[in-house]
Structure formats: structure tokens, C-alpha cells
Amino acid sequence: AQKITQTQPGMFVQEKEAVTLDCTYDTSDPSYGLFWYKQPSSGEMIFLIYQGSYDQQNATEGRYSLNFQKARKSANLVISASQLGDSAMYFCAMRGLPNSGYSTLTFGKGTMLLVSP
Amino acid sequence: SQTIHQWPATLVQPVGSPLSLECTVEGTSNPNLYWYRQAAGRGLQLLFYSVGIGQISSEVPQNLSASRPQDRQFILSSKKLLLSDSGFYLCAWAKREWQYFGPGTRLTVL
């Protein structure tokens, strides 16, 4: 079974500073994918970044980067130069085997990020 | 481009009443479709997924059911709602690795 652990219920950061949101995972699948989603107060889940288990380099998308350490089974999200609009709930998720004909995601419990001026 | 719609956006229902939530996807064909539930302050729990018309897989046994009458339509139903059914219901579609979520339906059962 797959499991995602986010140990930080809440994080505070000042505007323009960088912040790291932790995510560890557990799976026996040889191939998997890791995702980060942002959920603002409106409730919509916004896809941020993806890392495949065989990707050699860490994924980056604008101000978001994923610090992937496969041996430690961690996939931390780094947000550089935080903005007030980054205040939201952040979820780490993992996808199972890609050739199964479908992809289902297992989500962590989330981390609430608050960015202060 | 692809878009995903859910309705209603909010719903307040009494215990024991029926439920029907609808999700439709535009701009793609034969997507995988998913229903998730998010209880207050918690992560997402996968309820159902579908890889094609009439093909439904259930992840969690409960009083909810799902149907896929058309390629891009996914419906979540219940014959009798429980208090514990309250939550935020999200529909998602997927092509390959990525899942994209709809705006969600906030359900309150009183």
C-alpha cells in the first residue's frame, strides 16, 4: 500500500522568503509519481509540480521546485520568494504504477501555509 | 483546452435524503474520472474511479455509488444521506499521469 506523510500541519513564512514543505512517502511500486497540489480557500485543487520516480533531475516550475531524495523517500516542495497569494493548503500526493490503465492518487493530510507581509 | 464542471457548487440536505452530484469534462475523450471526498481539515479520500463508460471501481465501501452514463459524465449518488457524508466532493479527470480537479461541491448534511 502507498502512504504519504506530511508532518507539518502549519507553516509560517514572511513574504519574499523561501519555504520548504515536507513530504515523505512509502511504496513498494518500482515506478511511481509524486505531485504537489495547492488548495486555496475556494477549495479548488491546483496542480503545481510533478516528479517521476525515474527522473534524474529535480522538477521545477517557476517559483516551485521539488527536492526529490529517492533513497530517503522524500519529495519536499520548495517555494522561493513567497507571495501573499501562496497562503493555502498544500497537498503531497503519489501515483501508483503508470501502466495499470488508470492512475489513482494517494494524498497526504496537507500543510497549511500562511504568508505574512 | 480541457475544462471540468461540477454542480451544484453547494448543497444542504437533510439526513436520509437522496443525493446526486454531477461532473462533466469538456475538451477530451475517454478520460479516467475520479470522485474524491475531503472531510473538514483533512486530505482527500478516493471514493470511485472510472476508466470508461459503465466501468466503476469503488475504493471505500459506503452508502455512496457512482455511475458513468456517458464518456465525459460522472455522477455520484446516494439513496439515503448520513451525517458523515458531509464534506467537499471533488471530481477529477486524468490523462496519463496528471489529474486535474473540478471546482468541487460542498455538501452539508443536517
Return the residue of A nearest to B106 by Cα: A43
Alpha-helix runs per DSSP H in B1-110 = none
Q: What is the nearest CA distance from B76 to chain A, expressed in angstroms?
A: 17
Instruction: Give the residue carrying C-alpha cell 455512496.
Output: B64
Backbone dihedral region for residue B103 (phi beyond 0: left; psi -120 to 50: alpha; all else: beta): alpha
> What is the Cα–Cα distance from B95 to B33, expressed in whole angstroms?
9
Contacts of B43 in chain A (CB under 8 A): 91, 107-110
Neighbours of A23 (CB within 10 A): 28
How many Å lie between the alpha carbon of B89 and the closest alpha carbon of chain A? 10
**Cell, residue A102:** 488508470
pLDDT by position in tens, chain A (length 117): 789 999 999 999 999 999 999 999 998 888 889 999 999 998 899 999 999 999 889 999 999 999 999 999 999 999 999 999 999 999 999 987 544 556 788 899 999 999 999
Cis peptide upstream of residue B14 (ω within 30 degrees of 0): no
Q: What is the CA radius of gyration of chain A?
A: 14
Q: Are strands B98-101 and B87-95 parallel, antiparallel or unpaired?
A: antiparallel
Grid cell locating A29 = 511500486
